[in-house]
Amino acid sequence: MIGIIGAMQIEIDRILERVEAPVKRVESGIEYVSGKLLEQDAVVAKCGIGKVNAAACAQTMALLFKPELVLNTGVAGSLSSELGVGDIAVGTDVVQHDVDTTALGDPPGMVSTVNIVHFPLDPAAREAILSAAEALPGVRAIPARIASGDQFVAASARKAEIVRLFDAGACEMEAGAIAQICHLNGIRCAVLRAISDGGDEGAHLSYAEFLPLAAKNSAELVLRFLSRMSGS
């Protein structure tokens, strides 16, 4: 079973179109759609924006569907000159840039209880996703650290601070929570995020314009990855 989580409907619509014999189940206000997806047993969910929504979705998915791998797909802001609009950041690991207990002597991003800054992502899935991207014309995917936080980053100063503290390549609002839940449950996790904006003062304008393109690219890469898994 493969779990697929996106924050917004536009990020999962193309994937849902390919689910065969879909079965819908609603738990805690989140709809889970399970069925066959390119010959793979899969469940797809829109978690909603932000880390609490994402964590609730991922934990429920883990308990009810027991996926072996969870893919977090969607859009992100770029923190790197190597990632332009439409490009895809494939996560090497994930940090939570808004977690700050440095006043207590912890390093930036240290998530208490689990005591982790850099949440691991599955290397085999990452390499398979990068390989699948090579077959998508006009799409460029590169490995990058993903920085999550309950903040739409739209200021050059904040962008620079996240890069300085975490050396991240892309920022978004859910992957850190999903990776944390997967870590707690012993589930493999992968993150792929297409760039919709530059995380700077023009981010709100770029996001509105390029969200459809970015959502399309990330969903197409998910489908290509699953197709290769199925050998089709």
Written as one letter, the residue type at 157 is A
Identified catalytic residue from 11, 87, 200, 220? 11
Sign of CA dihedral 155, 158, 161, 163: negative
Residues in CB range of 36: below 8 A, 6 or more apart: 19, 20, 21, 42
Structure tokens belonging to residue 211: 């969200």
Give catalytic status of residue 13 as yes or no.
no
Q: Outline where 50-168 has alpha helix (H).
A: 51-65, 123-133, 156-166
Distance CA 109, CA 180 (A): 13
Identified catalytic residue from 87, 174, 197, 200? 197
Give catalytic status of residue 82 as yes or no.
no
Our CA dihedral for 168, 42, 212, 26, rounded to 10 degrees, sits at -100
Give catalytic residue positions: 11, 197
